[in-house]
């Protein structure tokens, strides 16, 4: 099976580390060539989600230890769409 040529947009940073988004600076790279960056981003996002979930508390104020059923709105207890 041939590899798909999935491309992602990349953004150049200026000397101060700020993004410079403009028509001239819009470039792309093959997703597979950015695999390390994608993996790092997923790990960072996962750590943020885990930290946020750990902060969720039950109604009695104690930290939640049981899994919650999350719905399409992204919060426990709301109705599915």
Tokens of 44: 């960072």
Model's pTM, two decimal places? Answer: 0.54
Q: What residues form DSSP beta bridges with 8?
A: 29
The pLDDT value recorded for residue 59 is 47
Task: Return the SS3 of 52.
Answer: helix
More confident residue, 64 or 11: 11
Residues 11-63 pLDDT 10s: 877 888 887 666 666 789 999 999 999 999 999 999 999 888 888 755 445 65
**Whether 44 contacts 52, CB under 8 Å:** no
Reference 36, options 5, 13, 8; nearest CA is 8
């Amino acid at each position: 099976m041939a590899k798909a040529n999935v491309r992602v947009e990349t953004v150049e940073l200026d000397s101060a580390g700020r993004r410079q988004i403009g028509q001239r600076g819009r470039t792309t790279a093959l997703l597979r060539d950015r695999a390390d960056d994608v993996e790092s981003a997923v790990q960072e996002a996962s750590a943020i989600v885990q930290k946020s979930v750990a902060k969720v508390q039950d109604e009695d104020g104690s930290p939640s230890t049981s899994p919650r059923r999350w719905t399409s709105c992204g919060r426990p207890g709301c109705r599915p769409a």
